[in-house]
Structure 1
Amino acid sequence: MNKVIIKEKPTADEIKELLDIAEKYGGVITIFAKCKVYYEGRAKSELGEGDRIIIIKPDGSFLIHQNKKREPVNWQPPGSSVRIEGNTIISIRRKPREKLEVEVLEAYSGIVFFAEDYEELALTGSEAEMAELIFQNPDIIEKGFKPLFREKPIKHGIVDILGVDKEGNIVVLELKRRRADLHAVSQLKRYVESLKEEYKRKVRGILVAPSLTEGARKLLEKEGLEFKRLEPPKRKDKKSRGKQKTLDFF
């Protein structure tokens, strides 16, 4: 099989064929098309007619890019399922229930790329390495701290590290490899408030970074949040990574 399959100006049936091939053999599909986008889930949104890039990955990730900015304008996470009905590509996320529909008005090109990539990005001094360091040495945050989950999805985002302190309180760690600013504090506040609302119990929020701006310090104090100074590791530690536990501590 060729590494790349290309269809110029594919019909709806040909797009379905590309989707089927990509699903069967683990290919990444990219469609250049004029389309409309509809989302329904935690909110509702509609994106009018325009030229966009649609990317569907083997793990279920579904991304829609405009011709500006680096972030997708709409997306679904890994684990979502994709199907096509007529000229509409539909992505469904089950928990929480979210539905993304892309009505293809005109397809310019469809490509399936059978990518083989088994490497993982190794960054020195990254937030991932900070997380590894904390899992290996939890007391660097405070005595008695127990990290339980990495990159834990919650209602309003993904928590870098979720754990408990020696009193059994929920602790949220927001990691920043560089100087933390107001945005980092606002992000941490959102996570803490979300977990308080969900579990109806005390939740502590700790911003972990090498330093923070004066504005961030003042906002932390105002919101009752905490700061822990921690420099990211200088070299990648090749010991086993801190693994997410399956224990339900709530």
Structure 2
Amino acid sequence: MLNYECVNNPSNKEALKLLEDGLNKKSLLILVVKCTVEYNGRARSKLASGDRVIILKKDGSFMIHQEYNLEPVNWQAPNTKNVLKVVNDSIELIGVHNKPYEELIVRFEEFYTVSYYSCEDICDLEIRGYEKHMVDLAYEKPDLIEHGFRPTKREYQTDNGFIDLMGVDKEDHLMILEFKSRQAGMSAVKQLKRYVDCFLDNKDFVRGIIVAPAITVDALEELESLQMEFKSMEPPKEFLKSNKPSTLDAFF
């Protein structure tokens, strides 16, 4: 049975207690609030006052959604340390992520709904479906990526998640590859950038590459501005039995 707490229009005192309980229990928190947002890290950004949905997951993931678009307007990766702070009777939620250092600060102005859920979900998703087959194919036939590519590791774990495929090019530059079975978008670029940032201490140039059948115009522009690359590759045909995506991840 799902254990949860949900309060509509709570006072600051009630909201603080719910937030503390949810974080201490490592629960899934879902908030509907009016807030401002500040980000400090590889860049700096500020989001003025507005109504948002905030989601915090038990692995530390931290997402801020506006009323439009699929992607969050701000987010922090798993292993983020989320803490609460009271400043002049106002509540702040601060998410700090290291390697690279990033800080996301939410300053609450009004609480509409505060809720947390002690979820149980022991099911594992089959690893990324068609994308896994693309990785396997690139590992077995590296020239599909480029001549001289030598793959070294699959599903390499970093603080920011698992890298699909790593390897080196003919000049021994490290290559980090992010695979998408459908058109890649901005979220794929952001994720690849986070992977590349894990190797900032590498003395040699690190190549970040998105491998997908296609990429959106804005994502390609952002990718090139970050000195990263796109390689076109279709999923193996024997696995494409349906054009209908079965998971939300297929859209990212």
Q: Normalized against structure 1, the TM-score is what? A: 0.68
The residue type paired with residue 175 of structure 2 is: V
CA shift at 1:170, angstroms?
A: 2.5
Question: Which residues in structure 2 correspond to 1:87-126 (within 5 Å)?
Answer: 87-122=91-126, 126=130
Aligned residue for 2:22, secondary structure, equals: helix
Deviation per CA, 1:119-140, whole angstroms, max 9, x where unpaired? 23337852233224444x3556
RMSD: 4.4
**Structure 2 Cα separation of the partners of residues 180 and 80 of structure 1:** 25
Return 142-151 or 110-119, whichever deviates more: 142-151
CA distance in 1 between partners of 2:199 and 2:61 (Å)? 29
Alignment deviations for residues 178-226 of structure 1 (CA, whole Å, 9 cap, x no partner): 4789x9xx99x989x989986454666776456899xx9xxx9xx9x79
Tell me which structure has the larger Cα radius of gyration.
1
Post-superposition shift, 1:60?
0.5
- Aligned to 2:134, the other structure's residue is in SS state helix
The structure-2 alpha-carbon separation of the partners of 1:167 and 1:40, relative to structure 1 and needing over 3 Å to count, comes to closer
Cα distance in 2, alignment partners of residues 60 and 167 from structure 1: 38
Correspondence 1:160-199 to 2 at 5 A? 160-165=164-169, 168-178=172-182, 199=202
CA contact (8 A) 2:193 2:208 kept: no
For 1:37 and 1:179, how far apart are their aligned partners in 2?
30
Question: 1:204 and 1:50, CA in 2 relative to 1: closer, same or farther beyond 3 A?
Answer: closer
- 1:22-62 CA distance string (max 9 Å, x none): 23333101111111111111111111111111111111011
Question: Counterpart of 1:95 in 2: which secondary structure?
Answer: coil
Instruction: Indicate conservation of the 8 Å contact 2:131/2:235, yes or no.
Output: no
Pairwise CA distance, 1:113: 1.3
In the superposition, relative to structure 1, how do residues 53 and 230 fare at CA in structure 2: closer, same or farther (>3 Å)?
Answer: closer
The change in CA–CA distance for 1:206 and 1:36 in structure 2 (over 3 A counts) is: closer
The answer to whether the Cα contact below 8 Å between 2:7 and 2:113 also exists between their aligned partners in 1 is: yes
Given residue 234 of structure 1, which amino acid in structure 2 is its aligned partner?
Answer: E
Q: Report if aligned partners of 1:163, 1:170 keep a CA contact under 8 Å in 2.
A: yes
- SS of the aligned residue for 1:130 comes to helix
- Counterpart CA distance in 2 for 1:28 and 1:212 is 32
Residues 35 and 50 in structure 2, CA contact (< 8 A), matched pair in contact too: yes
- The answer on whether the counterparts of 1:10 and 1:107 sit within 8 Å (CA) in structure 2 is yes
State how far apart, in whole Å, the 1-side matches of 2:150 and 2:48 are: 49
Could you tell me how far apart the structure 2 residues matched to 1:18 and 1:178 are? 40
Q: Percent identity?
A: 32
TM-score normalised over the length of structure 2 = 0.67
Structure 2 residues without counterparts, runs of 5 or longer: 241-252
1:82 aligns with 2:82: yes
Specify the SS of the correspondent of 2:120.
coil
Q: How many angstroms apart in 1 are the aligned matches of 2:121 and 2:166?
A: 30
2:17 maps to 17
Q: Are residues 124 and 234 of structure 1, via their aligned partners in 2, closer, same or farther at CA, if it must alter by over 3 Å?
A: farther
Distance 2:92 2:45 in 1: 16
Structure 1 residue runs without a partner (length 5+): 237-250
- Matched residues, number: 224
Amino acid at match of 1:91: G
Structure 1 residues 139 and 32: CA distance shift in structure 2, 3 A: closer
